[in-house]
Amino acid sequence: MNAQSHSGRLSILAAALVVARRDFTAILFSRTFFFFLLGPLFPLIVGGLAGSVGRQVDSSAGANADPVVAVAMAPADAQAMTRARDALSARLGEGLPAFRIVAPARPSAVMERHKVSAVLTGTPAAPVLSGPRERVEGWSGAVAMIAAQAQAGPLRPWPAVRIDATAARPKADRQAGLRTAQGAQTLLFLLTMMLAGMVLSNLVEEKANKIIEVLAAAIPMEAVFFGKLFAMLGVSLVGIAAWGAAGGALVLAAGPNVLQLPEPAVGWPMLIGLGVVYFAMAYLLLGSVFLSIGSLAATVREVQTISMPVTMLQVLLFFLASFAMTRPGSAVEIGAILFPFSSPYTMLARAAQEPALWPHAAALLWQAGWVALLVRLGSGLFRRRVMQSGPKVRVKARRRLLGRARPAPAGD
């Protein structure tokens, strides 16, 4: 009974956890990990300080910029409203929205064509203010005062301004959402490319020391790959947590205006959570490819040569995801979502633009299936390339593990 229990091998999941725990603790408590954490902090601090200075310059330069309201009334009424606005602005100073006379048309079409914040239609006696509700409600009082000034006669009561809240976001708001999507997408790409290479260097080092052959003799090769991937993912998440804490401290020290990205469609907490999950998927997908490359390389120089095309291809896929971000619902976006290596970047950008959450669940299942497939293919390639001597190498490695290595017979 005991002999059978000791002779049985661990399951893939249990063996993967053993390898992951071994690699995670070995890297986390090494001296090099401390210097690894310090590396990106200096560019982060410099970039944060430069961004703070740039924000101050932009805010001081654009502090006096007024929002623009398109006046799409009859020519006489539009002229009267503009003259009244200018007269009141000369008395009251700043605070009134700027008026721009345009040809009468649908408010949504006017906002798209002229890139204005709101549209004023109707007449001075019955003005209609169209635009996003959170904007036009705050301007209704100013518009009513201007409309009363524009009317002729000794008694000029303030008219009631009818609010027409548009359902569609103006182009300026969509561009703001694109800024948030682009920032999240770029950050995800940079972190993935910077951290995924650790998997490759760790595998090449253990391959040179013959440690990987000993592991492959004792446990399934798929467990070795999964263990190394999740160990490096855990180390990367620890590094990201440390950098995020340093970045948060920098934001608190520099003031709340350092980061002024618009609110994403799913909200900041959900976007951050999805960012962590999509980083894990992008890391596992790219790391599985790097592990397969490790089976083809024997030295660090060969690793750099072989991995360069993969890196260039990943850059092209990032540009594909960036282009798909600007074409929501198109065939380009659907193709970028279905292709596994560009799917995390495309879906994270989609989270910043669209509030629906069910597509993310489907995309994560799709990406997880590709991770399992790539690990299986990579482990098979590694087994054929590295363990070329087949069962003899496996038996000898097991004997070394058990301390019972014997000279091989002459027939071997």
Q: What is the pLDDT of residues 377-412, one digit of tens each?
A: 888 877 776 655 444 444 455 555 445 444 555 544
Report whether 361 contacts 275 (CB < 8 A): no
**DSSP annotation of 316:** H
Measure Cα distances from 78 to 150, 152, 174, 319 in Å.
Answer: 9, 14, 28, 45
Output the pLDDT for position 254. 59
Q: What is the pLDDT of residues 46-91, one digit of tens each?
A: 555 555 544 554 444 444 445 788 899 999 888 989 998 888 888 7
Measure Cα distances from 201 to 216, 267, 297 in Å.
Answer: 18, 37, 11
- Look at the chain and count its residues: 412
Output the pLDDT for position 343. 94
In a domain, 82, yes or no: yes
In a domain, 52, yes or no: no
Report whether 347 contacts 360 (CB < 8 A): yes
Q: Same structural domain for residues 33 and 146?
A: no
Output the pLDDT for position 345. 94
Contacts of 257 (CB under 8 A, 6+ apart): 55, 59
Count, in order, helices (H) and strands (E) of the chain.
17, 5
Q: Same structural domain for residues 363 and 308?
A: yes
Q: Same structural domain for residues 144 and 206?
A: no
Q: Which of 120, 151, 168 is the last residue of a domain?
A: 168
Measure Cα distances from 24 to 74, 230, 320, 366 in Å.
Answer: 72, 9, 34, 27
Chain mean pLDDT for the chain:
77
Specify the residue for token string 């799409």.
72
Count the alpha carbons within 13 Å of 408 in the hemisphere toward its beta carbon: 12
Q: What is the pLDDT of residues 152-179, one digit of tens each?
A: 766 667 888 888 876 445 444 556 667 8
Q: Same structural domain for residues 148 and 127?
A: yes
In a domain, 408, yes or no: no
Report whether 285 contacts 348 (CB < 8 A): no
Q: What is the pLDDT of residues 108-158, one digit of tens each?
A: 788 878 778 889 998 888 899 988 776 777 788 888 888 888 887 666 678
Burial class for 209, CB neighbours closer than 10 Å (0-12, 13-18, 19+)? exposed
Q: Same structural domain for residues 140 and 185?
A: no
- Count structural domains, the chain: 2
Q: Same structural domain for residues 74 and 178?
A: no
Q: Give the number of other CB atoms < 10 A from CB of residue 165.
A: 13
**DSSP annotation of 63:** T
Q: Same structural domain for residues 136 and 219?
A: no
Output the pLDDT for position 167. 46
Q: Which of 102-111, 145-154, 293-302 has the lowest mean pLDDT?
A: 293-302
Q: How far apart are CA 220 and CA 224, in angstroms?
A: 7
In a domain, 59, yes or no: no
Specify the residue for token string 């995670």.
24
Q: Same structural domain for residues 75 and 177?
A: no
In a domain, 311, yes or no: yes
In a domain, 412, yes or no: no
Alpha helices by DSSP H, listed for 164-259, are 171-195, 197-208, 211-218, 221-254
Contacts of 263 (CB under 8 A, 6+ apart): 180
Residue-number span of the structural domain to which 76 is assigned: 68-168
In a domain, 111, yes or no: yes
Q: How far apart are CA 76 and CA 223, in angstroms?
A: 79
Contacts of 251 (CB under 8 A, 6+ apart): 48, 258, 259
Q: Which of 168, 199, 216 is the last residue of a domain?
A: 168
Output the pLDDT for position 370. 94
Q: Same structural domain for residues 34 and 78?
A: no
Contacts of 84 (CB under 8 A, 6+ apart): 124, 146, 147, 149, 150
Q: What is the pLDDT of residues 328-367, one digit of tens each?
A: 888 999 999 999 999 999 999 999 888 889 999 999 999 9
Q: Same structural domain for residues 341 and 276?
A: yes
Cα separation of the two ends of the chain: 32
Q: How far apart are CA 20 and CA 241, in angstroms?
A: 19
Q: Same structural domain for residues 133 and 275?
A: no
Band (44; pLDDT cuts 50, 70, 90): low
Q: Given phi > 0 = left and psi -120 to 50 = alpha, else beta, which region is 366?
A: alpha
Q: Same structural domain for residues 26 and 160?
A: no
In a domain, 289, yes or no: yes
**Of 210, 200, 205, nearest in space to 378 by CA:** 200
Q: Which of 117, 136, 168 is the last residue of a domain?
A: 168
Burial class for 312, CB neighbours closer than 10 Å (0-12, 13-18, 19+)? exposed
Token pair belonging to 359 = 């597509």
